[in-house]
A = this chain, B = another copy of it.
Amino acid sequence: MRRSQTDSAKDKILRAALSRIRTNGYAATTVEDLCAAAGVTKGAFFHHFDSKEGLAVAAIDYWSEVTGALFAGAPYHKLADPLQRVLGYIDLRKALLTGELPEFTCLAGTMVQETYDSNPAIRDACARSIIGHAATIERDIRAAIAKHGIKPAWTAASLALYTQAVLQGAFILAKVTGSAKAAADAVDHLRRYVELLFNRAQQKESAR
């Protein structure tokens, strides 16, 4: 993520939210924590956000924007075969499983666990993030179905959402095991499934 001396207080608070909430969850993260992590005053916080909830919604939208730009700019989009683009997306997801847990896990998937019942504004922002991202993969899956002439019993939309289920669950495995390895193994299973659905033998067995 970009960091510059000219970043606004608002950007610093948003980035602190991404890090702190992915580490400790939403409820356990206080406005004071965020101000300390961002190096800003509470006055600055409440100048930019009307409440912790308002910050949370803005943080998820910021998250969607940052991750959306990352995936939109990824090289796999240049592949001619839409199936290869889907597999390229999955390979990128695996490649991103590096560093510490709060660096590769998902803000929206973490926050919705605590807020889906109590906070509709946060839940809806999480839904926009996860479902909106799935829609970008659905397009390539739909094109791959057409190009490869398969007649699936499943829909492109359901497979796109499934990729997100696997990734979210993979992050939980990483958290219980304390390691990205279990998450990477889950992504390998997802890749193998997509290849099997399109009647491809495993084209690349990932290193173990």
Chain A residues packing against B (C-beta within 8 Å): 23-28, 101-102, 108-110, 112-118, 123, 126-127, 130-131, 153-154, 158-159, 161-162, 164-170, 172-173, 175-178, 182-183, 185-186, 188-189, 192-193, 196-197, 202, 205
Contact = CB atoms under 8 A, between A and B. Distances in A.
B27 A176 contact: no
In the assembly, how many copies of this chain are there?
2
Contacts of A25: 25-27, 113-115
A183 B113 CA distance: 14
A106 to B, nearest CB: 9
Contacts of A166: 162, 165-166, 169
A87 to B, nearest CB: 15
Contact of A176 (B116, B154, B176): B116
Contact of A114 (B27, B118, B168, B193): B27
Contacts of A176: 108, 112, 116, 123, 126-127, 130-131
Contacts of A114: 24-25, 27-28, 110, 113-114
Given A24-B117, A167-B169, 9 more contacts: A25-B26, A27-B114, A113-B172, A161-B186, A164-B169, A165-B173, A169-B170, A192-B193, A196-B196
B177 A170 contact: no
B131 A116 contact: no
Contact of A186 (B26, B127, B162, B205): B162
30 contacts: A23-B117, A25-B114, A26-B27, A27-B114, A101-B116, A108-B176, A109-B172, A113-B175, A116-B175, A116-B178, A126-B176, A127-B176, A130-B173, A130-B176, A153-B192, A154-B185, A158-B185, A158-B189, A161-B182, A161-B186, A162-B166, A162-B185, A162-B186, A165-B166, A165-B169, A165-B182, A168-B168, A168-B169, A168-B172, A196-B197
